[in-house]
Amino acid sequence: MTDLVLKNLCVGTLSNVSLTVPGGQVVCLSGPSGSGKSRLLRAVADLEPHGGTVSVADTCQEDLPAHQWRSRVVMVPADSQWWFDEVGGHFPDHVKADLPSALGFPPEVLEWSVSRLSSGERQRLALWRALLLEPEVLLLDEPTANLDNDSTEAIETWLLEEIRRRQIAVLWVAHDVGQIHRVADAHYRILGTSLERADGSD
Amino acid sequence: MEVIDLAWWKLGLAALLVLALAGTGYLARLGITRNLLIAALRTVIQLALIGLVLEALFASSGFQWIALMALVMLLVAGREVVARQGRRLQGWWAFGIGTGSMFVSSFSVTVLALSVVIGPDPWYTPQYAIPLLGMMLGNTMTGVSLALDRLNESVWRQRAVIENRLMLGQTWKQALEDIRRDAMRSGMMPSINAMAAAGIVSLPGMMTGQILAGSPPAVAVKYQILVMLIITVGTGFGALMAVSWGGRRLFDDRERLRLDRLVKQ
C-alpha cells in the first residue's frame, strides 16, 4: 500500500503533526490563511527544512535523493508556474494524444502560447502535468481556487477517478466546505499549532 | 620615438570634464553624481599609488614581492565582486566564491601565458606578469560579478518557477538550467563583444598604449590578440566556476531552494 505517513512533523508554527493518508484516499486540510497549510505541504514535498519524518510505502524522505522523492510525492502549488513559451514544452512528447476530456481543452492546447492561458486554465493543466508523473502521493494546494463552479465539479470528478484508479494518497488543501464534503475521506483543521480532526458531517 | 610625458596639470583638464558631467548629472537628477565622483577620485589615487608601487617592484623584482602584489590585487578584486552584486550570498560565501573562481581561472591562465607563450626570463618578470595579471583580473572580475549578480537576481525573481520545477521532480541543476545559461551569457558578453568589435569599432587599450610607447604595431597587435584570447578564456572559466559554485550554494543537500542564504545589500 502506498500510505503517506507523517510522524511528528514540525514546520513553521505547526508542531508534532502525525497523520496517515491511505493510498486512494483524500485527506482535506483547512484553516485560516497564514496557518501553515502550504508550508505543511512543502515540508511533505521536502521543499522546506522541517522536523519529524515523512514516509511513503515505508520509504522515508531521507532514503531517496530529494528529486526522486519529489517525483513520487508531487506538489501542485496554488499558483502554478510555466517557464517555456509554449504549453507543450512542459509536457512529455508522447502524451499529446491522451489529453483528458474533463480538462475541457481542444487537442491543440499544447501548441498554445502560455501567455494566453487564464489562471484557471493554467491550474487545470498543472494538475494534468502533475498526474503525468504517475505520483504515489499528490499534494494539492487549493487546486480549484481559480475555477468556476461547473469546471470545479468536473475537475473534482476527474481527479477523484484518477486518485481511486491509481491508488494515489492525496493531501488536499481546501477552503470550500462543499468541496471538502464532496472529495474528502477525512478532514483536518489547523488549530493553532496542531491538526484537529473535523467532524465528518460539516 | 620618445613618449611625450603628460604634465599633472594637463590631467586636471580631463578632470574638469568629469566635473562637468557630474554637474549635468546632478542637475538632471540622474542619481549617478556621487558614484561618478567617488570612482573618478579612486581611479586617480589608485593609479598614482600603483605607479609608485610598480616603480619599486620593477626595481627589486623579487618573487615574494610580486606574489604579494598579486595577492593584494586578487583580494581587492574579490571585494569588488561582492560589492557589485545587488543580492549576494550570506557570510563569506560571496567573497569566497568570487575570489576562488577568479584565483583559479586568472592565475592559471596568466601563469600559462607567461611561461609557455611569452616566456620572459624569469617567467615572473614583473614588467610582463603584473600588467598581464592586472588585465586578466580586471576582466575576470567584471565577468564573475556580472554572472553572479545575474544568477542571484534571477533566482530571487524566479523562485516560484524554480520551486515548481523542483516540485515536479527535477534536480536542482535542471531547475536552474535556464538561469545558469543566462548568468553565463551575461558574464561572457563583455569579452565576446570586445573580441567582435576589436580593431573595427575600438582599438583596444593595451595595444594603443604599446603603440603610443613606440612599439611597432605588428608586435602590439600580436600582444593584443594574445591578451584578448586569454582574457576571454579566463573570464569564461571564472564565470563558469562562479556560477556553478554559487548555484550549488543556493540549494541545500536536499535540493531545496535556500533564498535565506541571499542578502540584499
B168 touches chain A (CB under 8 A): yes
Nearest chain B residue (CA) to A45: B167
Q: What CATH architecture applies to the domain A4-197?
A: 3-Layer(aba) Sandwich (3.40)
Is B166–A49 a contact, with Cβ atoms under 8 angstroms apart? no
Is B163–A67 a contact, with Cβ atoms under 8 angstroms apart? no
Q: What is the ipTM of this complex?
A: 0.94
What does the pLDDT look like over B154-187, one tens digit per residue? 999 999 999 999 999 999 999 999 999 999 999 9
For the cut 60, the answer to whether the pLDDT of residue A201 exceeds it is no
Name the DSSP letter for residue B257: B
Name the DSSP letter for residue B259: G
Range A63-84 average pLDDT: 96
Give one word for B90, left, alpha or beta, with left for phi > 0 and alpha for psi -120 to 50: beta
Q: CA–CA separation, B188 vs B236, rounded Å?
A: 6
For the cut 90, the answer to whether the pLDDT of residue A63 exceeds it is yes
Is B256–A47 a contact, with Cβ atoms under 8 angstroms apart? yes
Q: CA–CA separation, A127 vs A75, rounded Å?
A: 9
Residue in A70, A85, A127, A139 to test binding to B, most B beta-carbons within 10 Å:
A70
CA A142, chain centre distance (Å): 8
φ/ψ of B111, rounded to 5, equals -60, -40
Range A120-124 average pLDDT: 93
Nearest chain A residue (CA) to B253: A66
Give the residue extent of every domain in chain A: 4-197
What pLDDT is attached to residue A76?
Answer: 97
Is B256–A129 a contact, with Cβ atoms under 8 angstroms apart? no
**Pseudo-torsion of CA A24, A25, A30, A34, nearest 10°?**
-30
Nearest chain B residue (CA) to A71: B169
What pLDDT is attached to residue B166?
Answer: 97
State pTM to two decimals: 0.88
Q: How confident is the model at residue A117 (pLDDT cuts 50, 70, 90)?
A: very high
Is A129–B168 a contact, with Cβ atoms under 8 angstroms apart? yes
The CA-based diameter of chain B, rounded to the nearest angstrom, is 69
What does the pLDDT look like over B108-155, one tens digit per residue? 999 999 999 999 989 999 999 999 999 999 999 999 999 999 999 999
Q: CA–CA separation, B111 vs B115, rounded Å?
A: 6
Match 494515489 to its residue by C-alpha cell. A168
What does the pLDDT look like over B63-78, one tens digit per residue? 999 999 999 999 999 9
In chain B, residues 90-149 whose CB comes closer than 8 Å to chain A: none
What pLDDT is attached to residue B41?
Answer: 94
Q: How confident is the model at residue A202 (pLDDT cuts 50, 70, 90)?
A: very low
What pLDDT is attached to residue A199?
Answer: 67
For the cut 60, the answer to whether the pLDDT of residue A174 exceeds it is yes
Q: CA–CA separation, A42 vs B154, rounded Å?
A: 22
Contacts of A61 in chain B (CB under 8 A): 254
Cis omega (within 30 of 0) on the bond before A143? no
What is the rounded average pLDDT for all residues in chain B?
93
CA A162, chain centre distance (Å): 13
Name the DSSP letter for residue A130: H
Q: CA–CA separation, A57 vs A167, rounded Å?
A: 12
B254 touches chain A (CB under 8 A): yes
What pLDDT is attached to residue A1?
Answer: 65
- Distance (Å) from the alpha carbon of B178 to chain A's nearest alpha carbon: 9
Name the DSSP letter for residue B1: -
Residue in B154, B155, B164, B176 to test binding to A, most A beta-carbons within 10 Å:
B164
For the cut 60, the answer to whether the pLDDT of residue A65 exceeds it is yes
Nearest chain B residue (CA) to A129: B168
% chain A with pLDDT above 90: 81
- Distance (Å) from the alpha carbon of B181 to chain A's nearest alpha carbon: 14
Q: Which of B136, B135, B131 has the alpha carbon at shortest distance from B106? A: B136
What does the pLDDT look like over B185-227, one tens digit per residue? 999 999 999 999 888 887 888 888 888 888 899 999 999 999 9
Q: CA–CA separation, A83 vs A114, rounded Å?
A: 9
